[in-house]
A = this chain, B = another copy of it.
Amino acid sequence: WQEGCSPKPASLLSVLHLILVSLLGSAILLSEMSHHLPHSPRVHGFLMVLMLASSAWMLCFGWQSRKTEKHRLNVDHHAGASWLKAGLALFALATLILDCFSFGYYREILHCTSPLMIAFPLVQAVFTVTQVSFLSSFAKVCIQDWCCLHRVGLMNSLATNLLLWMNVVLDESTKQLRSIYMEEQQDSAHNTTLSNSCACTTDLCHIFRDGAAHLHPFNIEFSLFSSTMLYVLWKNLGRVPSSLGPQARARRPAFRISGIFPGLLLGALVLSATFGCMIVFGVFFKAKDTLPHALQIYYTFSLILLCLMLLSSCAGTLVYRLQKRSSFTFRTKNVVRNLDVALLLGCSCGPLAICIFSMTAIFFTGSLSSLNSLDLFFSLFKTLQVLGQNLFISEALFSGPDERHPTAQFVLAGALNKSFDSESQCAVWSTMESSMQVQMDEDEKSRVLKMHDSPHMGAAAFQKPFLFTSRRRGRAKIMQNILVFLLLCNIAVWILYAYGARPHLVSETEQNFYGFTLWATVVTSCLPLGIFYHIHSAASLFEVYCKSQLN
């Protein structure tokens, strides 16, 4: 990993910049939360300054790189996959619609809010458009010039995205907590009157407000996706990936649907069942007397879903084990893979924490009512499912496409481009793996040369690999079905978490055991992680699926 840029303390400086900006932003955001001001000019002003600075830097970078075309050559092909860009564009589109709704909403309630609030959606729209065009043009680039400036610029944009994410999450959490508080207050004293001068009066205003509320989850994902892509750019800054070019591009994964009908069908069934369950749950959840019934439906449905997901994760891991081509190691130098697994593990702490806190509370209070035992089983299976899925996805991400039994076509290509992997510095697999591969290529080259000498011998030598290939094809199809099914399940769980009501906040055993404040803190800080965990799992599964099509 040769460092092209000389000023190395720049990376430390940019990390310090990230820390300082994030802490400053957190201080401002948290102070607003305690003042219970939903539309504070202070927070939005700060975020607008950050967004404008980031946009300015991105435009500068784009303008500068238009002049010097040379760093287009320094590209890390594992970064910025096309499906990632497509996902980013989708989330950006939702964010733009959200900005339109917000703009309309703030215009309607202009009498009780500051003019700054109207400017905020506009600035956010500019930032979103700039960021999407920046990331889709330069996601693969290993930046080589002006390293110090660009490092700080990247970290500034990263901090902006993180703070935007934190702002939305805090807003949503305080709204939920306030509705629960209000319910309790209304229960205890019916004579409290809601004196909200900023309430919507027109129908248009209601439409804008409700529309915006449904688009927030997409905005959250947009910030997180952008953050990971910016981080990869930061890590790749100054790197010089050598002759990876044409070979890697020729073997780029593609998305094709063939032979995965069972997986798609089952997944679609799960998705539609989720929508059904969500609607029923939403209706029953509103009233106090049908609340236990709603929880029962939710837990039962989730238990079935989790069992299915756990089974498919286990089956997937088993198939990988049977193929015995696990090359899983933590020490690969590929930034994108390492980041994927680290994010997966980090985010899985969210759902794991909620489940383990629930289980501890139920275990120690010892009250096993029917709802509590459902909750206990739900938490147990959720834990197992998350653990199993982590193992499966890590194994799948690190085991590259099988290069040991290549088809005839690949043998020739491999022999011709023998030097490819030994020279590459942005290699997908660990050094051990790649050195092994070079050996393989050596063997295959000699085989191919032999074939050229005696064509009859060559035909005989092809028999065994082809028999082997058909069995491998069968396994690959099973694996692809599992991947598609698990992908759709994760999207289902994501929808359930992002839009469905949250039963954890109302379960009383945990509230009594930990106290309301502590339990609400745990749930509201861990749920966003859980939501991101499932969308990130889905993204990783999609990538593995595309990779598996290469075989």
Binding site for B on A (CB under 8 A): 1-3, 8-9, 11-13, 15-16, 19-20, 23-24, 26-28, 30-31, 33-34, 42, 326, 328-331, 341, 345, 348-349, 352-353, 356-357, 360-361, 364, 383, 387, 390-391, 394-395, 430-432, 513-515, 517-518, 522
Contacts and interface: CB of A to CB of B under 8 A. Distances in A.
8 contacts: A1-B331, A8-B329, A9-B326, A9-B328, A12-B330, A13-B391, A23-B357, A24-B356
A432 B34 CA distance: 51
B1 A356 contact: no
Interface centre among A8, A11, A357 (most CB of B within 10 A): A8
A11 B364 CA distance: 31
- Nearest first, the 9 A-B pairs at minimum CB distance are A34-B515, A27-B360, A23-B356, A27-B357, A8-B329, A8-B328, A23-B353, A1-B331, A11-B330
Contacts of A34: 513-515, 518
A539 B457 CA distance: 68
Contacts of A31: 360-361, 364, 513-514
A164 to B, nearest CB: 18
A19 B345 CA distance: 9
- Interface SS, A side: helix
B8 A330 contact: yes
Given A9-B394, A24-B356, A30-B518, 15 more contacts: A1-B331, A8-B330, A9-B326, A12-B328, A12-B390, A15-B345, A23-B356, A23-B357, A24-B360, A27-B361, A31-B360, A31-B361, A34-B518, A42-B364, A517-B517
Nearest to A12: B394
Nearest to A13: B391
A19 B352 contact: yes
A11 B398 CA distance: 13
A174 B11 CA distance: 38
A3 B326 CA distance: 14
Nearest to A46: B360
A8 B42 contact: no
Contact of A391 (B9, B19, B23, B330): B9
Contacts of A345: 12, 15-16, 19
Contact of A360 (B12, B28, B383): B28
Contact of A514 (B19, B30, B42): B30
Q: With a 10 A CB-CB cut-off, give which of A28, A356, A391, A515 has the most chain B CB atoms.
A: A356
Contact of A9 (B19, B28, B395): B395
Nearest to A518: B34
Nearest to A2: B432
A254 to B, nearest CB: 29
A391 B12 CA distance: 7
A11 B394 CA distance: 11
A394 B10 CA distance: 12
A352 B23 contact: yes
A515 B328 CA distance: 48
Contact of A8 (B27, B326, B357, B515): B326
Given A12-B391, A513-B31, A19 B432 contact: no
B431 A1 contact: yes
A16 B360 contact: no
A432 B3 contact: yes
Nearest to A321: B9
Nearest to A317: B9
A503 to B, nearest CB: 18
Nearest to A515: B34
A343 to B, nearest CB: 13
Nearest to A390: B16
A522 B348 CA distance: 24
A361 to B, nearest CB: 7
A42 to B, nearest CB: 7
A395 B11 CA distance: 12
A513 B37 CA distance: 13
Contacts of A331: 1, 3
A387 B331 CA distance: 31
Interface centre among A24, A26, A31, A518 (most CB of B within 10 A): A31
Contacts of A430: 3
B514 A20 contact: no
A27 B509 CA distance: 14
